[in-house]
Structure 1
Amino acid sequence: MSLRNFFYVFLALIGLMILAVMALIRIEGLSLTDAVWLATISITTVGYGDVVPKTVSGRLVTMGLILSGVGLYTYVLSTLMVIISEGQLYDLLGEKRRKKMIGKLNNHIIVCGLGRVGSEVFDTLKREGQTFMAIEKDPARAENYRNSTIPIIIGDASQDAVLLQAGILRASTLITTLPEDAGNLFIVMTSKDLNPNIKVITRATRNEGIPRLKRGGADSIISPSTLGGKRMAMAAIKPASVAFVQTLFEQKNINYQIEELTINSSSPLANKHLKDSGLREKFGCQLLLINRTGTPIPNPNPDDMILPGDELIIFGPSDKLTDLERA
């Protein structure tokens, strides 16, 4: 049932009531209250009889109101009951709430697709307390997240209007998890066209699709099948190491984590040697890698300098990492 049609009929009913009230005031000389009362009891077919038209013209106006208005009133009332019973009113209010939430998002993550891979991305981002929203084309699949506090748009993520509604101009990252490489490629190209500075992470189903996704502008390409195969092989060869890494990334109550920190010019770590940074002494953390302009520096030496713009990969206790981020 179309909410737009209901809105138009409701406006027509209100307009008819206004015209009838104005006519009754002019013809019958009624007060505003009596005219509204007469129009209301006439259009609802209640007809108490305490206020009645006394002139022929007034009766003709009332007859016209009854003949034309009862149908509109019945349609509006029945449609309203159907909307409430089918949950369309809840969806309408929920849609307004989602638009308001999305309008407040900034530097957020957009997740495109809530299939098997997308649902894992969704759950992980929510568990990590990240600011994000999702786009899902299938209404039935999106219904599974109806009670979630995360805003979800039902639509095609390859369309400009949908991405703009998701706030892509203000977003920092887009993750597309569609099962088809062609669909992911189109979303990558569209998102980069709308926001060239956004970081795009995409899923690759086939290895031959990876070069195309790179040329399309993807910043990071993940192949679940390749990663899964390597992880299974490593689990057979080095089970303890794989179990340890899996524990770090999948368990919430583990006290140790791996964190990424980007150093800016005002950071107290900027332009300091690693041995003078206090990472280990003050925070009990271990610097695993420095990513400098795309060049990784693994297992840095104590004399290595930490520069503005460096991305540090740090391992340590969760509470100490939080303190380090604040510092």
Structure 2
Amino acid sequence: MTSTKRLIFLLFALFIILVSGTIGLVSIEGAENWSYLDSFYFTLITMTTIGFSELHPLSPTARMFVIILIFLGVGTTAYTITTSAQIFLDGRLKEYFESKKMQKRIDKLKKHYIICGFGRIGRYISEELIKLDFPFIVIETDKDRIKEMQILDIKYIEGDATTDSVLKEAMIEKSQAIIIAVGQDAASVFITLSARGLNEDIYILARYEQLGTDQKLYKAGANKALSPHLVS
């Protein structure tokens, strides 16, 4: 049984114990002595070991019932908390080790290509670079696209390519070319400016959408500006 399924089972067990404890106390002591609210509250604080004191006097039968409730409820509650913590830590640790592993792969890059954006164009370029066996890394912010790159075992950085620190993390100083495939012209111009400032010799191929943006890209330092819709 996986940790997630085990947690679901434990939560269901806690619910059953909580309901059983509530109904059990009312049935044993009578609704005139223990209301459903009192019984629910007492069962809850007993299961979580908060228990202050008895809300109302308990009969010997009710005390035996509470003892059973303590063994079942406290143990199940503790195991549920432990399982929840394990799932949380496993996820965090997995992310940590995956990021460390990815960073080691990135640190080895040189004379590589940087692709900004893993949309339709960025994905196509990545596929072509894989066929040519050229080293490259993708910068992307979209979670779904990142999951796709993880499946394809593509080197990536989760971050905003308009940020200098992210470009540096992609080892732009050692890169031979950057392909800016984002869909926003303003971002393309900004990334071009940043890339040229961080690496004077890098070849910059930038995508643009609106007519006239190509001239801005050339002024910003692009070597080539292309539009999927317009002839440059």
Please tell me the TM-score bracket, short chain as reference. 0.5 to 0.7
Deviations 1:252-277 (A, max 9, x none): xxxxxxxxxxxxxxxxxxxxxxxxxx
Name the structure 2 match of 1:127: 131
1:185 aligns with 2:193: no
Name the structure 2 match of 1:175: 179
Deviations 1:68-114 (A, max 9, x none): xxxxxx97874233232xx4432221111110000000010000001
Name the structure 1 match of 2:86: 80
Residue 103 of structure 2 aligns with an amino acid whose one-letter code is K
Q: 1:120 to 1:207 in 2, by over 3 A?
A: same
1:164 aligns with 2:168: yes
Name the structure 2 match of 1:145: 149
Name the structure 1 match of 2:31: none
Q: d(CA) in 2 for partners of 1:175 and 1:132?
A: 10
Name the structure 1 match of 2:158: 154
Deviations 1:237-266 (A, max 9, x none): xxxxxxxxxxxxxxxxxxxxxxxxxxxxxx
- RMSD after superposition: 2.4
1:173 positional shift: 0.4
Deviations 1:156-197 (A, max 9, x none): 001011011100011110001111111100000001111111
Q: d(CA) in 2 for partners of 1:79 and 1:163?
A: 35
Q: d(CA) in 2 for partners of 1:76 and 1:226?
A: 58
Q: d(CA) in 2 for partners of 1:174 and 1:136?
A: 14
Q: Which residue of 201, 219, 222 corresponds with 1:218?
A: 222
**Greater length-normalized contact order (CA 8 Å, ≥ 6 residues apart):** 2
After the TM superposition, which residues 22-101 of structure 1 pair with which residues of structure 2 at under 5 Å, given as runs? 78-84=84-90, 87-101=91-105
1:208 aligns with 2:212: yes
Q: Please identify which structure carries the higher strand content.
A: 1
Q: d(CA) in 2 for partners of 1:76 and 1:215?
A: 58
Task: Give TM-score scaled by structure 1 length.
Answer: 0.45
Helix, strand or coil: the match of 1:130?
coil
Q: Is the 8 A contact 2:109 2:171 kept in 1?
A: yes
Identity of aligned residues (%): 30
Runs of 5+ unmatched residues, structure 1:
1-73, 231-327
Name the structure 1 match of 2:47: none
Name the structure 1 match of 2:33: none
Helix, strand or coil: the match of 1:221?
strand
Helix, strand or coil: the match of 1:226?
coil
Residue 193 of structure 1 aligns with an amino acid whose one-letter code is G
Residue 217 of structure 1 aligns with an amino acid whose one-letter code is G
Q: Is the 8 A contact 2:149 2:155 kept in 1?
A: no
Q: d(CA) in 1 for partners of 2:174 and 2:98?
A: 22
